[in-house]
Amino acid sequence: MAATAKTKQQVEDMSGDYKYGFSTDVDMDMAPKGLSEDVIRFISAKKDEPSWMLDWRLKAYRAWLKMEEPNWAKLNYPKIDYNDIYFYAAPKSQNKPKSLDEVDPEILRMYEKLGIPLREQEVLAGVEGAAKVAVDAVFDSVSVATTFREELSKAGVIFMSISEAVKEYPDLVKKYLGTVVPQRDNYFAALNCAVYTDGTFVYIPKGVRCPMELSTYFRINTENTGQFERTLIIAEEGSYVSYLEGCTAPMRDENQLHAAVVELITLENAEIKYSTVQNWYPGDKDGKGGIYNFVTKRALLKGDNSKVSWTQVETGSAVTWKYPSCILAGDNSVGEFYSVAVTNNYQQADTGTKMIHMGKNTSSTIISKGISAGKSHNTYRGLVKVLSGADNVRNYTQCDSLLVSSTSGAHTVPYIEVRNPSAQIEHEATTSKISDDQLFYCRARGLDEEEAVAMIVNGFCKEVMQHLPMEFAVEAQKLLGISLEGSVG
């Protein structure tokens, strides 16, 4: 027996009716269409960048020209015409806003419609005692508002847009930018290096536990604008930060390209927790439109005893190409990857992780849950690699797929490469539909079928959802569109 009609409906609703599909009228400042050295110079000049940054971009661009678009992923999409894309679009404002009051009210209203409390007093819908969340709002390509800066700066935390950081902390940026994801790392990363317009820069000084969870809401606006964020997070010795990334995008007919790069660096005893809820426009029921999402996310666990934890809930985008990875270089470092990916209609997701074990006693955990509905394809692709010098490595991988329709596909492509005998590598994967036994068991205990299915699907994702920060877990649950009745959190 297949999943109930209601569950199917709920899963379909997730991407079928995109309630965040509206666009905001704001004057845009644009670069000419297409990509060339001139466009890169334009972007760099617009952002008033130092010359080293421009050189860095041009070097990446020249490398990109010689590279080929990868085609190994299980993804089918029309060829991207890079000359038909605006690589830079910024809200027109002559002066940088000094406070939230100066931010274009249109933008503020848009965030309000999305239920994102940008204003400080609205943090988490005014729940008393709730953790404070700092929001660095990215509206298309330029950060328009940054909150909580004061409180953060008291703690010594640097949390700003990366274009500001390039000017204010050039030494820090120079030291770390491109060290985890180099310019010629891959096709989309090189493109990002050349044309990235903005993003987030976070620096947590030695021994500091970031006083609040940092959050950036990305939003893509303006037709035909690719958005190329660049995020760089550095956690100094003994520091801790939890970073939230969430996204929604207005409904548009034409495909929009998105190629982000995220670099995380942890030094000794540091920890970064990086959580993502990705809910960009997935295209309509016939597979028309939707975001193309090509993301390179990688963490370098440079110091001993450091830890990076990636948690992602992927429900949006027409095409997702994303492999948040960990290079476990420091001894005793720990990498984690928790992922829920839901695809529906004609969505395609090829996502997973890479755990490269270089240091001794390093360990990694991979939990991936894929749910496929409609005519979608959902692929887990991962690599666990143990180099010969990495003694006593431990890895546990579990990737489960749940099929909700007979027209969808679920694929698992894990790679395991081990060169050290003391490694203990375990990999498990299953693909199934909701089992009749489980349904029967629940129903025998008085639950109706829908409740039972909801409960089973909840349980299926629970291992991942519980790793999300509270603020996100709620949103993620909504996105999963399953009536939860408070059983998962």
Instruction: Tell me if 432 contacts another protein by CB under 8 A.
Output: yes
Q: How far is the CB of 208 from another protein (least distance, A)?
A: 39
Binding mask 84-123 for another protein (x = CB under 8 A): ----------------------------------------
**Residues 36, 76, 153, 424: which binds another protein (CB under 8 A)?**
424
Instruction: Tell me if 457 contacts another protein by CB under 8 A.
Output: no
5-10: which pairs have CB atoms within 8 A and are 24 or more residues apart? 6/450, 6/453, 7/404, 7/450, 7/453, 7/454, 7/457, 7/482, 8/373, 8/404, 8/405, 10/481, 10/482, 10/483
* Separation between Cα atoms, residue 6 and residue 10, nearest integer Å: 6
The DSSP symbol for 139 reads: E
Of 19, 62, 20, 14, nearest in space to 37 by CA: 62
In the bound state with another protein, the residue whose beta carbon lies nearer, of 390 and 465, is 390
Instruction: Tell me if 72 contacts another protein by CB under 8 A.
Output: yes
Instruction: Tell me if 419 contacts another protein by CB under 8 A.
Output: yes
Q: What share of the chain is helix, strand, coil (3-state, %, to 5)?
A: 25, 35, 40
* Separation between Cα atoms, residue 373 and residue 346, nearest integer Å: 9
Instruction: Tell me if 430 contacts another protein by CB under 8 A.
Output: yes
**Residues 46, 59, 119, 411: which binds another protein (CB under 8 A)?**
411
Q: How far, rounded to the nearest angstrom, does the alpha carbon of residue 11 sit from its chain's CA centroid?
A: 21
Instruction: Tell me if 416 contacts another protein by CB under 8 A.
Output: yes
**Residues 9, 76, 179, 388: which binds another protein (CB under 8 A)?**
388
Query: Residue 52 corresponds to which tokens in the numbers above?
Result: 């080293």
Instruction: Tell me if 71 contacts another protein by CB under 8 A.
Output: no
Q: How far is the CB of 467 from another protein (least distance, A)?
A: 23
For another protein, how many residues bind (rule: CB under 8 A)? 37
| CB of 138 closer than 8 Å to CB of 107 | no
Instruction: Tell me if 441 contacts another protein by CB under 8 A.
Output: no
Of 191, 465, 219, 180, nearest in space to 324 by CA: 180
- Cα dihedral sign for 219, 222, 226, 232? negative
Binding mask 226-265 for another protein (x = CB under 8 A): ----------------------------------------
**Residues 100, 429, 447, 484: which binds another protein (CB under 8 A)?**
429
Contacting residues toward another protein, per CB under 8 A: 2, 72, 386, 388-389, 401, 403-433
